[in-house]
Structure 1
Amino acid sequence: MRFSVAWLREWVDPPIDVQTLADQLSMAGLEVDAIEPAAPAFSGVVVGEVLALEPHPNADKLRVCTVAAGRDEALQIVCGAANVAQGMRVPVALVGAELPGGFKIKRAKLRGVESLGMICSAAELGLAESSNGILPLPVQAPVGEDLRSYLALDDSCIEVDLTPDRGDCLGLAGIAREVAAINRTALRTPTITPVAATSDERPVVRLEAPEACPRYAARVVRGIDPTAETPLWMRERLRRSGLRAIHPVVDVTNYVMLELGQPMHGFDLAQIEEGIRVRLARDGERLALLNGEALTLRGDSLVIADAERPLALAGIMGGEGSGVTAATRDVLLESAFFAPTAIAGRARSYGLHTDSSHRFERGVDPGLQVRALERATELLLAIAGGAFGPVVDCAVADQLPQRAPLTLRRQRIAQVLGLELDDAVVEDLLVRLGMEVAPVAEGWSVVPPSSRFDLVLEVDLIADLGRLYGYDRIPVQRACSATVAHLPEETGFDLERAKLALVERGYFEVITYSFVSPDLQALLDPAATPLVLANPLSAEMAAMRTSLWPGLLQAARQNLARQQPRMRLFESGLRFRNVAGELHQEPVLAGLLVGDVAPEQWGEPARAIDFYDMKGDLEALLRLTGCPQTFRFVSGELAALHPGQTARIEREGRSVGVAGMLHPAIAAQLDIAGDVFLFELELGPLLDGALPAFQPLSKFPVIRRDLALELDEAIPYERVHHCIADAAGALLRELVLFDVYRGDKITPGCKSLALGLILQASSQTLTDQEVDEVLDGVLARLAGDLGARLRS
Structure 2
Amino acid sequence: MKFSENWLRQHVGIDATREELAATLTAIGLEVEEVVPLGEALEGVLVARIVAAEKHPQADRLQVCQVDAGLDAPLQIVCGAPNARVGLAAPLAMVGSRIGELTIEAAKLRGVESNGMLCSARELGLDGDGSGLMELPDDARPGMPLAEHLGLPDATFELKLTPNRADCFGIRGIAFDVAAACGSEIVEDGIDPVPAQTDAELEVRLDAGADAPRYLGRVICDVDATRATPPWMAERLRRSGVRPVSFLVDVTQYVMLALGQPMHAFDRDRLQGPVGVRRARAGEALRLLDGRDVVLDDGFLVVTDAGRAVALAGVMGGDDTRVGDATRSVFLEAAHFAPAAVIGRARRLGMQTDAAHRFERGVDPELPRQAIEMATRLILEAAGGRPGPVTEAVLPGHLPPPRTIALRRARLARVLGLGIADAEAERILRALGLAVEAETDGWRVTAPARRFDLAIEEDLIEEIARIHGYDRIPATLPGGATRLAGPGEGLAPEADLRRQLVARDYLEAVNYAFVDAALLARWNAAEGAVALANPLSAELGAMRTMLLPGLVDALARNAARQQARVRLFEIGKVFGSRESGIGNRQSGTAETTAPVEIARIAAVAMGAAAAEQWGSEAREVDFHDLRGDLESLAACAGAALEFRPSQRPYGHPGRSADVFRDGVAVGWIGELHPRLLAELGLDHRAVAFELDLAPLQQRALPVAEAPARFPSVRRDLAFVAPQQVPWAALDACVRKAAGPLLAGLRLFDRYQGKGVESGCKSLAIGLILQDKSRTLTDRDAEAVTERVIAALRDEYGASIRS
Q: How much has 1:63 moved relative to structure 2?
A: 2.0
Classify the secondary structure of the residue corresponding to 1:35: strand
- Structure 2 distance, partners of 1:284, 1:569, is 45
Structure 1 pair 584–228 and aligned structure 2 pair: CA distance change class (3 A): closer
Matches within 5 A, 1:633-712: 633-641=643-651, 643=653, 646-660=656-670, 678-688=688-698
Letter matched to residue 364 of structure 2: D
Aligned to 1:321: 320
Structure 1 pair 491–534 and aligned structure 2 pair: CA distance change class (3 A): closer
Aligned to 1:77: 78
- Is the contact between residue 22 and residue 158 of structure 1 (CA under 8 Å) also seen in structure 2? no
- Structure 1 distance, partners of 2:322, 2:559, is 45
Letter matched to residue 387 of structure 1: G
- Structure 1 distance, partners of 2:572, 2:374, is 52
After TM superposition, the score normalised by the length of structure 2 is 0.74
- Is the contact between residue 659 and residue 667 of structure 2 (CA under 8 Å) also seen in structure 1? yes
Q: How much has 1:315 moved relative to structure 2?
A: 2.0
Aligned to 1:696: none
Q: How much has 1:310 moved relative to structure 2?
A: 1.0
Structure 1 pair 620–301 and aligned structure 2 pair: CA distance change class (3 A): same
- Structure 1 distance, partners of 2:44, 2:30, is 35
- Is the contact between residue 221 and residue 386 of structure 1 (CA under 8 Å) also seen in structure 2? no
Q: Deviations over 1:575-629 (max 9, x none)?
A: 345273536866535456587669999999999987677556546655666x58x
Structure 1 pair 195–636 and aligned structure 2 pair: CA distance change class (3 A): same
- Is the contact between residue 199 and residue 387 of structure 1 (CA under 8 Å) also seen in structure 2? no
- Is the contact between residue 203 and residue 392 of structure 1 (CA under 8 Å) also seen in structure 2? no
Aligned to 2:262: 263
Structure 1 pair 380–659 and aligned structure 2 pair: CA distance change class (3 A): farther
Structure 1 pair 650–142 and aligned structure 2 pair: CA distance change class (3 A): farther
Aligned to 1:391: 389
Q: Deviations over 1:87-120 (max 9, x none)?
A: 32335568898877x7898999988888787655
Matches within 5 A, 1:173-572: 173-195=172-194, 197=196, 199-209=198-208, 211-299=210-298, 301-325=300-324, 327-344=326-343, 346-347=345-346, 353-383=352-382, 385-396=383-394, 398-399=396-397, 400-403=399-402, 405-414=404-413, 416-417=415-416, 421-440=420-439, 442-475=441-474, 478-482=477-481, 493-503=492-502, 508-515=507-514, 524=523, 526=525, 528-530=527-529, 544-549=543-548, 551-552=550-551, 569-572=568-571
Q: Mean alpha-carbon deviation: is it higher for 255-264 or for 649-658?
A: 649-658
Letter matched to residue 17 of structure 1: T
- Is the contact between residue 94 and residue 116 of structure 2 (CA under 8 Å) also seen in structure 1? yes
Q: Deviations over 1:43-78 (max 9, x none)?
A: 888345445444355664x12343659699845435
Structure 2 counterpart of 1:588, from 568, 578, 599: 599
Structure 1 pair 150–239 and aligned structure 2 pair: CA distance change class (3 A): closer
Letter matched to residue 387 of structure 2: G
Q: Deviations over 1:541-581 (max 9, x none)?
A: 66554333455467678889999998655432233452735
- Is the contact between residue 593 and residue 609 of structure 1 (CA under 8 Å) also seen in structure 2? no
Aligned to 1:707: none
- Structure 2 distance, partners of 1:387, 1:185, is 38
Letter matched to residue 392 of structure 1: V
Q: How much has 1:126 moved relative to structure 2?
A: 5.7
Structure 1 pair 512–602 and aligned structure 2 pair: CA distance change class (3 A): closer
Classify the secondary structure of the residue corresponding to 1:333: strand
- Structure 2 distance, partners of 1:677, 1:6, is 68
In structure 2, list runs of 5 or more residues that go unmatched.
Answer: 579-588, 705-719, 735-741, 766-788
Q: Deviations over 1:284-336 (max 9, x none)?
A: 43223334454443446432101141111222222232223455443211112
Q: Percent identity?
A: 39
- Structure 2 distance, partners of 1:609, 1:241, is 64
- Structure 2 distance, partners of 1:131, 1:712, is 92
Classify the secondary structure of the residue corresponding to 1:221: strand
- Is the contact between residue 549 and residue 590 of structure 1 (CA under 8 Å) also seen in structure 2? no
Structure 1 pair 584–313 and aligned structure 2 pair: CA distance change class (3 A): closer
- Is the contact between residue 223 and residue 330 of structure 1 (CA under 8 Å) also seen in structure 2? yes
Structure 1 pair 600–493 and aligned structure 2 pair: CA distance change class (3 A): closer
Letter matched to residue 77 of structure 1: V
After TM superposition, the score normalised by the length of structure 1 is 0.75
Q: How much has 1:251 moved relative to structure 2?
A: 2.1
Classify the secondary structure of the residue corresponding to 1:36: strand
Classify the secondary structure of the residue corresponding to 2:172: helix
- Is the contact between residue 148 and residue 154 of structure 1 (CA under 8 Å) also seen in structure 2? no
Structure 1 pair 320–492 and aligned structure 2 pair: CA distance change class (3 A): same
Q: Deviations over 1:513-560 (max 9, x none)?
A: 445566655664647534566777777766554333455467678889
- Structure 1 distance, partners of 2:406, 2:484, is 42
Q: How much has 1:188 moved relative to structure 2?
A: 1.6
Q: How much has 1:260 moved relative to structure 2?
A: 0.5
Classify the secondary structure of the residue corresponding to 2:573: strand
Classify the secondary structure of the residue corresponding to 2:62: strand
Classify the secondary structure of the residue corresponding to 2:243: coil
- Is the contact between residue 18 and residue 156 of structure 1 (CA under 8 Å) also seen in structure 2? no
Aligned to 1:8: 8
- Structure 2 distance, partners of 1:226, 1:599, is 80
Aligned to 2:25: 25
Classify the secondary structure of the residue corresponding to 1:155: strand
Structure 1 pair 315–490 and aligned structure 2 pair: CA distance change class (3 A): closer
Q: Mean alpha-carbon deviation: is it higher for 65-74 or for 465-474?
A: 65-74
Letter matched to residue 78 of structure 2: I
Q: Deviations over 1:11-30 (max 9, x none)?
A: 113222344434433443x3
- Is the contact between residue 268 and residue 330 of structure 2 (CA under 8 Å) also seen in structure 1? yes
Structure 1 pair 5–717 and aligned structure 2 pair: CA distance change class (3 A): farther
- Structure 1 distance, partners of 2:491, 2:336, is 57
Letter matched to residue 371 of structure 1: Q
- Structure 2 distance, partners of 1:153, 1:360, is 33
Aligned to 2:771: none
- Structure 2 distance, partners of 1:115, 1:602, is 89
Q: Deviations over 1:241-278 (max 9, x none)?
A: 33333332222211111111111011122331233123
Classify the secondary structure of the residue corresponding to 1:450: coil
Classify the secondary structure of the residue corresponding to 2:320: helix
Q: Are 1:34 and 2:45 matched, yes or no?
A: no
Letter matched to residue 655 of structure 1: A
- Structure 2 distance, partners of 1:118, 1:274, is 54
Aligned to 2:89: 89
- Is the contact between residue 163 and residue 361 of structure 2 (CA under 8 Å) also seen in structure 1? no
Structure 1 pair 645–174 and aligned structure 2 pair: CA distance change class (3 A): farther
Structure 1 pair 671–4 and aligned structure 2 pair: CA distance change class (3 A): farther
Q: Mean alpha-carbon deviation: is it higher for 365-374 or for 282-291?
A: 282-291
